[in-house]
Amino acid sequence: MTPFISELTGTALLITLGDGVVANVILNKTKGNNGGLIAITFGWAIAVFVGVYAAASSGSHLNPAVTIALASLGKFDWANVPLYVTAQMLGAMLGSFLVWLMYRRHFDATNDPDTQLAVFCTAPAIRNPVDNLVSEIIGTFVLILGVLFIAAPNSSLGSLDALPVALLVLGIGLSLGGPTGYAINPARDLGPRIMHAILPIKGKGGSDWGYSWIPVLGPVIGCLLAALCFSAIHG
């Protein structure tokens, strides 16, 4: 499997299962309606596990923040960054399309445009650009620093190699997900947001483009800070 196909496939699985659990919990007339935050955070953790496992041949980045952090540390060729980010974006778009296809009758049954949008992308609980940006920076910093430490000893858990990253994302969701919904991944937020704008969703509102830069810039800043910190620790 080529790195492009690997990253696209892994990211598509990540978003299909991740956005899928959100749809199941918040859209009307689903079997999982009102399942709550715990269901969403566990669903996303499982989505990460499956996505990371599926994309093992490309290094399981699935996130431009991971790709940029590794490149900034000299662990990944900058020349390959555009290829990986493109695959991640397309994978995220594909995954969110599949979620819409799966739940389209439930989108129709949900009259609140904000709820419809929340299936695709994040939004702040309290809207404040500076605080929201800081939240995404901190969440991504914890994600990337954790991933770098997990990868450092060359884990030998066999088929469970993806489990530590999944548990890390579960912890971030439970502990740090309250302010902004922990995008911590530019492709995860921007790709599905684009699909929300494109797809023929009954009664949908705007795609909240005024907020869209925060879950892109925040993770980029956070990943670079994490790379600097990791580099300083390891000398």
Average of pLDDT values for 100-128? Answer: 98
pLDDT of the residue at 153: 64
Distance CA 106, CA 54 (A): 29
Indicate the CATH number for domain 3-234.
1.20.1080.10
Residue 151, pLDDT score: 81
Neighbours of 67 (CB within 10 A): 25
For range 152-166, the mean pLDDT? 69
Contact 121, 183 (CB under 8 A): yes
Would you say residue 64 has pLDDT above 90? yes
Task: Check whether 235 has a pLDDT greater than 80.
Answer: no
Instruction: Look at residue 1 in the predicted model and tell me its pLDDT.
Output: 80
- What does the pLDDT read at residue 14? 98
The CB density around residue 118, as the number of other CB atoms within 10 Å, is 20
* Predicted confidence band of residue 156 (pLDDT cuts 50, 70, 90): low
Give percent of the chain with pLDDT exceeding 90.
93
